[in-house]
Chains A and B, each alone.
Chain A
Amino acid sequence: MRAIIKDMAKTKDKDGTIIIVSGLPRSGTSLMMQMLEAGGLPVVTDNIRKADDDNPRGYYEFEKVKKIQKDSSWLKDCHGKAFKMVSELLYHLPDNDTYKVIFMKREMKEILASQGVMLQRLGREGSKVGDQKMAGKFAKHLQHIESWLATQSNITVLYLTYNDIIQEPLIYAQSVNRFLGGWLHEDGMAQVVESSLYRKGREPTIQRKDYADDDEEEVKKQLEDLGYL
Chain B
Amino acid sequence: MPAKKNTSRTILIGLDGVPYGAIKNLTETGIMKNLGQIIEEGVFRQMASSIPEISSIAWSSIITGKNPGEHGIYGFIDLHPGTYRMFFPNFSTLKASPFWATDNGTSVIINVPSTYPARELNGVLIAGFVALNLHKAVYPAELVPKLMDMGYQVDVDSGKAHQSMDLFLKDLDRTLKSRIKAYRYLWDTQDWHTFMLVFTGTDRLFHFLWNAYEDPSHKYHEAVLNHFRQIDEVIGEIHSKMNDDDHLLLLSDHGFEALNLEINLNYCLKENGFLTIQEGKEDNFTHIGPTTTAFALDPSRIYVNLEGKYPEGSVKPQDKGRVIDDLISLFQSLEADGQKVVKAIHRGQEIYHGPYIDQAPDLVLLANKGLNLRANIKAKQLIDKGIFTGKHSQEDAFLVVKGRENSDIAPEAPTVSDIVDIKDKLDLRRR
Residues of A whose CB lies within 8 Å of any CB of B are: 1-2, 4-6, 8, 10, 103, 146, 149-151, 153, 156-161, 164, 168, 171-172, 174-176, 178-179, 207, 209-211, 215-216, 218-223, 225-229
Contact B93 A221 (CB under 8 A): no
Contact A164 to B80, CB < 8 A, known contacts A5-B291, A158-B311, A211-B132: yes
| Minimum C-beta distance from A149 to chain B (A) | 7
- In addition to A207-B92, A211-B132, 16 A-B residue pairs with Cβ atoms within 8 Å of each other are A2-B273, A4-B293, A4-B319, A5-B315, A6-B314, A150-B308, A160-B81, A161-B82, A171-B85, A178-B84, A209-B92, A225-B159, A226-B158, A226-B207, A227-B207, A227-B262
Give 20 CB contacts A-B under 8 Å: A1-B273, A2-B273, A4-B315, A149-B308, A150-B318, A151-B318, A156-B307, A158-B308, A168-B85, A172-B83, A174-B286, A175-B83, A175-B311, A176-B311, A210-B87, A218-B132, A223-B76, A226-B204, A227-B388, A228-B298
- Chain A residues near B133: list those with CB within 8 A: 215
> How many residues of B sit at the interface, in one of the four size bands?
35 or more
Residues of B whose CB lies within 8 Å of any CB of A are: 76-77, 80-85, 87-88, 90, 92-93, 129-130, 132-133, 155, 157-159, 161-162, 204, 207, 262, 273-274, 286, 290-291, 293, 298-299, 307-319, 322-323, 326, 372, 374-376, 386, 388
Contact A219 B88 (CB under 8 A): yes
Distance in angstroms between the alpha carbons of A211 and B155 in the assembled complex = 17
Contact A178 B293 (CB under 8 A): no
Contact B83 A228 (CB under 8 A): no
| Minimum C-beta distance from A213 to chain B (A) | 11
Contact A227 to B274, CB < 8 A, known contacts A10-B312, A207-B92, A210-B88: no
Distance in angstroms between the alpha carbons of A171 and B157 in the assembled complex = 31
- Chain A residues near B388: list those with CB within 8 A: 227
Contact B314 A175 (CB under 8 A): no
Contact A171 to B316, CB < 8 A, known contacts A1-B274, A179-B311: no
- Chain A residues near B374: list those with CB within 8 A: 227-228
- Chain A residues near B286: list those with CB within 8 A: 174
Closest to A175 in B: B83
> Per a CB cutoff under 8 Å, which of A151, A211, A223 touches B90?
A211
| Minimum C-beta distance from B390 to chain A (A) | 10
- Chain A residues near B130: list those with CB within 8 A: 219, 222-223
- Chain A residues near B77: list those with CB within 8 A: 223, 228-229
| Minimum C-beta distance from A204 to chain B (A) | 14
Closest to A10 in B: B290
> Per a CB cutoff under 8 Å, which of A8, A153, A174, A215 touches B291?
A8
10 closest A-B pairs by CB: A150-B317, A225-B158, A179-B311, A175-B83, A178-B311, A157-B308, A4-B319, A209-B92, A160-B82, A225-B159
- Chain A residues near B309: list those with CB within 8 A: 159
> Per a CB cutoff under 8 Å, which of B162, B322, B372, B376 touches A229?
B376
Distance in angstroms between the alpha carbons of A10 and B313 in the assembled complex = 12
Contact A4 B323 (CB under 8 A): yes
> Per a CB cutoff under 8 Å, which of B80, B308, B315, B326 touches A171?
B80
Contact B317 A209 (CB under 8 A): no
- Chain B residues near A210: list those with CB within 8 A: 87-88, 90, 92
| Minimum C-beta distance from B260 to chain A (A) | 14
| Minimum C-beta distance from A226 to chain B (A) | 5
> Per a CB cutoff under 8 Å, which of A1, A4, A146, A209 touches B93?
A209
- Chain B residues near A168: list those with CB within 8 A: 80, 85
- Chain B residues near A215: list those with CB within 8 A: 132-133
Distance in angstroms between the alpha carbons of A222 and B129 in the assembled complex = 9
Contact B159 A221 (CB under 8 A): yes
Contact A179 to B312, CB < 8 A, known contacts A211-B88, A219-B88, A229-B376: yes
> Per a CB cutoff under 8 Å, which of B81, B207, B293 touches A1?
B293
- Chain B residues near A1: list those with CB within 8 A: 273-274, 293, 326
- Chain B residues near A216: list those with CB within 8 A: 87-88
Closest to B89 in A: A209
Distance in angstroms between the alpha carbons of A10 and B291 in the assembled complex = 11
- Chain B residues near A207: list those with CB within 8 A: 92
Contact A4 to B322, CB < 8 A, known contacts A159-B309, A176-B311, A219-B130: yes
| Minimum C-beta distance from B423 to chain A (A) | 27
Closest to B161 in A: A225
- Chain A residues near B84: list those with CB within 8 A: 175, 178
- Chain B residues near A178: list those with CB within 8 A: 84, 311-312
